[in-house]
Amino acid sequence: MRRLLLLFLLGGSFIQQVKAQDDSAFATIYRTVREITQGLKTYDFYLTIYNQPSRKIRLSNSHQQRLLSVFHFLKEGKELSTKNPDIVINIMVENLRLLNPGGGGPGMVTRTSNGDGYTETASSTFNFTLFVYTKNLKAIQYRFYHPVVIHKTIRERPQHSFNDIIRDSLSRHGYSLTGTTQTTSSYVSGDLLPTQEDYKYELSKLLERYKNRYVDRVYN
């Protein structure tokens, strides 16, 4: 399995790539995964991030159940196992980037100041890509068609001295009376980027969407 993973990461020619475009594309991936995993008994399922491929993000039982609800055939004589599994199912976060609030150009962070503090907002987008590879050197790669967008906001209030508080104590609204300004920056705080919990949540929604919209159409 280690040899297979190395070949996989190096982009071996044995990997079949299918990019999602419509229902027929998902039907292809579904039937291909069913075919290459036929007769195998154990599988592992985890999430990774593109620039951290060796760091496995383990998923809860609810995520496992959603995977089984999409790929029904995994329930047919197959068991989850993290030790030398016959099948590895890795869903990777790829193409993570900031969006530009104004559209076009590089992604930016918007910072709005209202006198008594500031608010930073950023929108990130990424794709989920499915990788399936087996102990007998069969593999397939499939990028889910719809990108994910996540919006994050940070609100900060600066620290003021005691004298500042006394001087402005007559104002019920504090420093917000000084007006608002808005700027953009290419610098992004880690708090504005998606977290592992965000990735898990969005993956859960994606699996639910594919279960509801596609699986019943391509199961046979």
134-148: pLDDT as tens digits: 999 999 998 887 889
pLDDT of 14 above 60: no
Residue 186's pLDDT band, with cuts at 50, 70 and 90, is low
Domain boundaries, the chain: 2-218
Cβ contact 144:20 at 8 Å: yes
Tell me the C-alpha to C-alpha distance, in Å, between residue 83 and each of 5, 45, 86, 121. Answer: 14, 12, 9, 42
For residue 49, the surrounding DSSP H or E stretch is strand 42-49
Q: Return the pLDDT at 128.
A: 94
Residue 21's pLDDT band, with cuts at 50, 70 and 90, is low
43-62: pLDDT as tens digits: 999 999 988 878 899 988 88
Which among 179, 193, 50, 51 has a CA at the least distance from the CA of 109? 193
- Location of structure tokens 């290419």: 186
The predicted model scores a pTM of 0.76
156's tokens: 């900060």
- In percent, how much of the chain has pLDDT > 70? 69
